[in-house]
């Protein structure tokens, strides 16, 4: 019987069915669950979190050089980190099949940009497949591994939020092992990319791409759905589903391989219809490819370059109008509901201490990025994973005294191991006067609590090493490394003050487990209480932004009442972290007796 699987479950299942022996990844929305499912469900596959995507790809490369089938998974921006091995892996080729799953995030539901991974396939001269539902997500893992082995190339499988996180019915199959013999196979002309060898490999890459281009003409997932000849629609991925929804009776060409493009197939489809339209999300990638063939086509003049498509947008693009049968929007201003740090979040405590010091903060990617939002408003930069430390170093070196004692870099523990160690080394080496706050919450929190090399556990929860940041910073040459419990806000504030006043780079590790982490819990789970009569309504607690606190306005003040309102604790949400207690100057916050 068919099962209801998400796209990411389909990919994980595909890895199992098509004989993948090793899988590696770093968590990143919308790709995270792929490795989690492999870890939970398929013990046949050696699987583990890598510190970052570059390492994940290199580990997978090693496995496939040995003859094994391998899978690596990441979000779109992860491929930027892995771009170095990726570009030259195209030259060496593989041995066992290698599929690089890269999940794009059109509309940036949980990302800092919406780059289009198909450009990387063209850049690296490797094929790119794009599934449109969970069945294809599974089946295309098989196709990708077959192409990888047949043409000696890594293959990109481009996912997207609306495929990864959509569920659809999927037929399951049995596991079939890869056919390559495993072993240490010496082949320096192919695997050692010295200039002399690389010069010989580049022509191979170009010739390989031509052979794959021919293969695309008969690739089973490039498919024509004949229909009304007045309009022919070319699409791929979830855009195909929207196009089918909007115009089920039109002629459709669905591309399962989006790079290289099947020129003969496209030409013959174009000739069979009166009007040719490409429906694609983000860049005009297919459209430009078709234009280069000298074929007239409409594309991005109908759909936006920015954001994701939807059934409505595609209907409008294709028919010029939308048939709206709804009740319409409501004429009422609704307060926004952005994501927020959880009640008891240790990051809130650290940001509260930083706020008291009025510092300029360079951060990066993680739950702590939410520190940018009001009422905390404590993040001045977020560029990419690990960037905060480098930015703070650059700022402090150029600005000298202007920034001295005022700049801080914040970085989470998982991000630190991902790409924070090298900028920390740079800071020690070149000596910018800034303070690095490593917010160690003992997990990769934003993506849903994955282990990393600092937690002491592997993907499958087996015990392993726990890398020591304190010793690392000392080994890098930092003379000032301090560890503090951030829930002690006043003490944390004092330590930050001391380090800011010191004219040399320093590291503060604020260490407390994520409030959602079940394995390491230090929170008392005893809600606090505010004595209404003692509360002065100063909002010091409210300005920490904790969802367990509420400012209750006094609508009809009694005589002599100076307060505009008072704070109240929602005891069903409060976990007793005491951050509000630390900032209350009036002793209004108390433990429940």
Q: Note the residues at the interface with other proteins (CB under 8 A).
A: 2, 4, 29-30, 109-110, 133, 162, 165-169, 238, 241-242, 244-245, 248, 310-312, 315, 322, 324-330, 332-342, 367, 370, 373-375, 446-448, 539, 542-543, 545, 547, 549-551, 553, 565
Q: Taking Cα atoms as reference points, which of 53, 46, 56 lies closest to residue 24?
A: 56
Burial class (CB in 10 A: 0-12, 13-18, 19+), 176: exposed
CB nearer to other proteins: pick between 165 and 291: 165
Nearer to other proteins, 337 or 585 (CB): 337
- Between 228 and 245, name the residue whose CB sits nearer to other proteins: 245
Query: How far is Cα 421 from Cα 473, in angstroms, rounded to an integer?
Result: 9
As measured in angstroms, the least distance from the Cβ of 85 to other proteins is 26
Residue 325: CB minimum distance to other proteins, A: 5
Smaller CB separation from other proteins, 133 or 582: 133
Report residue 176 as tokens. Answer: 């079939």
Helix (H) or strand (E) holding 242: helix 237-246
Residues 179 and 49 sit within 8 Å (Cβ to Cβ): no
Q: Which of 199, 78, 138 is nearest to 447 (CA)?
A: 78
Nearer to other proteins, 527 or 547 (CB): 547
Which one, 303 or 447, has the nearer CB to other proteins? 447
The two three-digit tokens of residue 208, written as one number: 């390989």
Which lies closer to other proteins via its Cβ, residue 41 or residue 553?
553
- In angstroms, the CA 308 to CA 238 distance is 10
Bridge partners (DSSP) of residue 129 are 157, 257
Structure tokens at 539: 């909002």
- In angstroms, what is the minimal distance from the CB of 427 to other proteins? 29
6 beta partners: 167
Q: How far is the CB of 55 from other proteins (least distance, A)?
A: 23
Phi first, then psi, for residue 279 (nearest 5°) are: -110, 110
Q: How far apart are CA 443 and CA 412, in angstroms?
A: 9
Give the helix/strand (H/E) hosting 290: helix 285-292
Q: Is the dihedral of CA 228, 233, 235, 241 positive or negative?
A: negative
- Least distance to other proteins, CB of residue 360, Å: 23
Residue 228: C-alpha distances to residues 7, 231, 365, 384, 422 (Å): 30, 7, 48, 46, 58
Burial 341-350 (b: 16+ CB within 10 A, else e): bbbbbbbbbb
State the minimum distance, in angstroms, from the CB of residue 239 to other proteins.
10
Bridge-partner residues for 98, per DSSP? 70
CA distance 141 to 128: 11
Closer to other proteins by Cβ: residue 168 or 222: 168
Q: Taking the complex as a whole, how short is the minimal distance between the CB of residue 166 and other proteins, in angstroms?
A: 4
Residue 137 CB, shortest distance to other proteins, in Å, is: 12
Minimum distance from residue 382 beta carbon to other proteins (Å): 12
CB-wise, 160 or 421, nearer to other proteins? 160
């Amino acid at each position: 019987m068919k099962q209801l699987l998400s796209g990411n479950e389909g990919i994980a299942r595909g890895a199992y069915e098509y004989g993948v022996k090793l899988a590696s990844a770093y968590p990143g929305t919308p790709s995270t669950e792929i490795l989690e499912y492999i870890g939970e469900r398929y013990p046949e596959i050696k699987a583990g979190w890598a510190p970052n995507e570059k390492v994940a790809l290199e580990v997978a490369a090693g496995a496939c050089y040995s003859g094994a089938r391998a899978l690596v998974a990441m979000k779109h921006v992860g491929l930027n980190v892995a771009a170095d091995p990726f570009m030259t892996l195209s030259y060496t080729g593989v041995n066992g099949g290698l599929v690089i799953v890269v999940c794009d995030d059109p509309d940036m539901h949980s990302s800092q940009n919406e780059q289009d991974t198909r450009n990387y396939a063209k850049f690296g001269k490797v094929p790119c497949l794009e599934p449109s539902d969970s069945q294809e997500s599974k089946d295309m893992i098989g196709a990708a591994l077959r192409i990888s082995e047949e043409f000696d190339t890594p293959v990109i499988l481009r996912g997207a939020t609306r495929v990864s996180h959509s569920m659809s019915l999927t037929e399951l199959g049995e596991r079939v092992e890869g056919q390559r013999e495993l072993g240490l196979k010496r082949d320096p002309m192919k695997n050692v990319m010295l200039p002399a060898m690389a010069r010989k490999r580049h022509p191979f890459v170009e010739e390989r791409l031509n052979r794959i281009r021919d293969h695309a003409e008969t690739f089973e997932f490039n498919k024509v759905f004949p229909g009304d000849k007045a309009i022919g629609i070319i699409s791929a991925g979830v855009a195909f589903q929207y196009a089918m929804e909007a115009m089920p009776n039109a002629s459709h060409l669905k591309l399962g391989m989006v790079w290289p493009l099947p020129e003969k197939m496209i030409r013959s489809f174009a000739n069979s219809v009166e009007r040719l339209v490409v429906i694609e999300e983000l860049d005009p990638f297919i459209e430009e490819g078709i234009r280069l063939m000298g074929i007239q086509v409409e594309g991005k003049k109908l759909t936006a370059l920015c954001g994701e498509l939807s059934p409505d947008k595609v209907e409008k693009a294709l028919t010029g109008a939308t048939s709206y049968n709804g009740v319409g929007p409501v004429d009422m201003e609704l307060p926004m509901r952005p994501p927020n740090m959880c009640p008891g979040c240790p990051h809130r405590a650290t940001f509260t201490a930083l706020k008291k010091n009025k510092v300029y903060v360079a951060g990066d990617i993680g739950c702590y990025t939410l520190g940018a939002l009001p009422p905390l408003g404590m993040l001045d930069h977020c560029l990419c994973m690990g960037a905060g430390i480098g930015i703070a170093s650059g700022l402090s070196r150029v600005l000298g005294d202007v920034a001295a004692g005022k700049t801080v870099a914040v970085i989470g523990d998982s991000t630190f191991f991902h790409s924070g160690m090298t900028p920390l080394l740079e800071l020690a080496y070149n000596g910018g006067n800034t303070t690095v706050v490593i917010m160690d919450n003992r997990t990769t929190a934003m993506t849903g609590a994955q282990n990393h090399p600092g937690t002491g556990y592997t993907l499958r929860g087996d015990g392993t090493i726990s890398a020591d940041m304190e010793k690392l910073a000392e080994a890098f040459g930092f003379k000032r490394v301090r560890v503090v419990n951030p829930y002690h806000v006043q003490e944390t504030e004092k330590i930050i003050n001391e380090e800011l006043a010191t004219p040399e780079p320093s590291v503060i590790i604020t260490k407390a487990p994520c409030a959602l982490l079940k394995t390491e819990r230090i929170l008392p789970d005893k809600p606090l209480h505010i004595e209404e009569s003692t509360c002065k309504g100063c909002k010091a607690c409210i300005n920490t932004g904790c969802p367990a606190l509420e400012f209750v306005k006094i609508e009809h003040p009694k005589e002599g009442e100076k307060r505009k309102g008072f704070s109240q604790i929602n005891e069903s949400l409060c976990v007793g972290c005491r951050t509000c207690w630390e900032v209350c100057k009036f002793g209004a916050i108390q433990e429940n007796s």
